[in-house]
Amino acid sequence: MPALLWYRRDLRVDDLPALSAAVADGPEVLCCFVLDPRLEASSGQRRLQFLGDCLRHLRDDLGGRLLITRGLPQQRIPQLAAAISATAVHVSEDFAPFGRRRDEQVQAALGEIPLVATGSPYLVSPGRVVKDDGSPYRVFTPFFRRWREHGWRRPALSRPEPPHWIDSTELSSKTAQPVEIPDLGHADLPAGEVAARDHWKAFVANGLDRYHQDRDLLGRDGASRMSAYLKFCNIHPRSMAADLDPHSPGATAYLRQLAFRDFYAAVLRHWPRSAWQNWNNEFDSIQTDSDAQAQRLFERWKAGTTGFPLVDAGMRELLATGFMHNRARMIVASFLVKDLHLPWQWGARWFLDQLIDGDLANNQHGWQWCAGTGTDASPYFRVFNPTLQGRKFDPDGAYVRRWVPELADVTDAHLVRQARPPDYPEPIVDHGRERAEALRRYQRIST
């Protein structure tokens, strides 16, 4: 009774419920990954490179028994299932709008062969944490309380008995249609399951105890940098949660971040339109700019040449590494929406193009938090002052000096008590004036 295991964003072997379900289904399993051209077109180069590196490691972990093919899943998966006479196709469940539509199409094309979803990339799968009346939470804090009460499974301590892996070379080339894994250049972050576990162990040993104190300090590198591994589920969050001591302030603060990840996934499941539209539709009428001048300001923001040191440092870190510190993400997002009056969707799309860890639920709802348009959002009238934020979260200027070389040798990297170097641009806007303009626009829709 052969089974087909279709990998998507669960690129590991250990503690993979879908693999256990496939092994239980029968003694023979074919593992595959389908490169969907629609997702390739919507993913930035760095994320595609990291994905490619993850697939190479996964193929090695499976002893070379991973078929990588390209095409529309609703065509390729039924073809492969038919070729091996599969009794079922096993997956980890996907809750994003695109993934849910894709899986519905695949199941329709499979006919009587079931598409079996077991497990998910979350501690608690979206849709399970709801109010007593069954309605979804709109605010994080009560969600967090109920989420902790709900709990989650412990990680599996051992792999299932290995099945007979079906070697894709046993299939005809016309059926298998194997492709080479894309290699787009060097990725700054080592990929794969082993790298994820090693990275997490190092953070637990050296950074977790101080996480609650250091996570917002830009120059101290107190973040775990596990986000890309979670994006592709090289490690399941329950394996991480198992290492979190509930009596440790650092571990408690980290668990809260894992809960935010689950919360935003649940928001996207219940309100799929929030991927690209305001969750709070009262903001649909707020005035944003989109003329030629707005586009020029947007290009300066993307390039990190706004003349605001912390904004520029964040954007240049993104350009150089495909990553940005979370505190910097909030500051540059507030600047784009409140100081430049641009649609949050512009910034969200750029982040998805650049970030290795680009995740639709986290990215879009993080942007909506900053824009004031989402669930449990920062009030629109809260406008981050990028200079004050820099002095608070990068007090010695180390973060700015690292990413803005024009300011590497100045005494005050935030330019409060320091003359602006001639090779560093003047501010593209006046923060005080644009803050007042942002509040004026807000008042128009709130009265």
197, 235 Cβ separation under 8 angstroms: yes
Neighbour-count burial of 19, counting CB atoms closer than 10 A to its CB (0-12 exposed, 13-18 middle, 19+ buried)? buried
Query: Are residues 312 and 403 in contact, defined by beta-carbon separation less than 8 angstroms?
Result: yes
CA dist., res. 44 & res. 21, Å (int): 33
- Residues 288 and 415: their CA atoms lie apart, in Å, by 29
Q: To which residue do tokens 């090779």 refer?
A: 423
Helix axes 292-303, 344-354, angle to 10 degrees: 40
In the block, residue with structure tokens 């009596």: 247
Phi, psi for 29 (deg, rounded to 5) = -135, 130
Q: Which of 149, 170, 181, 148 is nearest to 57 (CA)?
A: 181
Q: Report the binding-site residues.
A: 211, 254, 257-264, 357-359
Question: Can you spell out the DSSP letters for 44-95?
Answer: -HHHHHHHHHHHHHHHHHTTT--EEEES-HHHHHHHHHHHTT-S-EEE----
- The enclosing H or E element of 116 equals strand 115-117
First to last CA, the chain: 65
How far is Cα 220 from Cα 208, in angstroms, rounded to an integer?
13
Binding residues for FAD: 211, 254, 257-264, 357-359
Contacts of the segment 417-420: beta carbons below 8 A, 24+ positions apart: 420/307
